[in-house]
């Protein structure tokens, strides 16, 4: 069988154009690879969206959940261990407000925590005259928020000692 051979005539401009296209494709491929690497890095290192939160809790002064004061004398003090843990994936500044009834009894601020940092402290509060079922509120505010971010409540009786 006879083989038919085709010869492509060599054109000086064609070779130069092919070389330029190859270089352009190589540059585009490298740019795409760099972009893909950057996107992958961002995906791996970025915090999960919507999962930031703050722990806010209180326990009795001994650190046991059920051992908080259930009654105090008028003018007496109750003590709880209060804690805040930052899981917001960024540094946060908090303030804590303690309310007995409609009265703001105490305010702690500023409380600056890095991501993953935890703060605990004994917190005392007092109550006025004798009453049943006094609502003691512990309110956590973020940054300059006007509304509480988290709220904890404790009901207790203020009773005359016998």
The whole domain housing 25 covers: 10-46
**Residue 95 clears pLDDT 90, i.e. is over it:** yes
Q: 34 is written with which tokens?
A: 């760099």
Report yes or no: 149 and 140 within 8 Å, Cβ to Cβ. Answer: yes
pLDDT interval class at 15 (50, 70, 90): low
pLDDT interval class at 140 (50, 70, 90): very high
Residue 3 within any structural domain of the chain: no
CA distance 117 to 11: 70
Q: Are residue 36 and residue 87 in the same domain, yes or no? A: no
Least confidently predicted of 48-52, 87-91, 115-119 = 48-52
Q: Check which CATH number belongs to the domain holding 71 and give it.
A: 2.60.40.10
Q: Are residue 117 and residue 69 in the same domain, yes or no? A: yes
CA distances from 39 to 27, 28, 35, 44, 48 (A): 18, 16, 6, 9, 15
Q: Dump pLDDT digits (tens) for 48-88.
A: 666 889 999 999 998 888 888 888 888 888 899 999 999 99
Q: How many domains does the chain have?
A: 2
């Amino acid at each position: 069988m006879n083989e038919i051979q085709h010869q492509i005539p060599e054109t000086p401009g064609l070779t130069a154009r092919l070389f330029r296209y190859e270089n352009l494709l190589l540059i585009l491929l490298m740019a795409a690879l760099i972009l893909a690497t950057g996107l992958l890095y961002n995906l791996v290192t970025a915090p999960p969206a919507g999962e930031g939160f703050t722990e806010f809790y209180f326990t009795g002064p001994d650190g046991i959940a059920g051992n908080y004061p259930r009654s105090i004398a008028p003018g007496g003090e109750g003590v709880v261990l209060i804690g805040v843990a930052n899981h917001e994936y960024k540094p946060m500044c908090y303030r804590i407000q303690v309310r007995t009834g409609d009265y703001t009894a105490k305010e702690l601020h500023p409380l600056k925590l890095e991501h993953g940092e935890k703060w605990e402290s004994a917190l005392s509060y007092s109550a006025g005259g004798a009453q049943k079922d006094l609502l003691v509120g512990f309110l956590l505010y973020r940054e300059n928020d006007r509304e509480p971010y988290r709220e904890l409540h404790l009901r207790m009786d203020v009773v005359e000692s016998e």
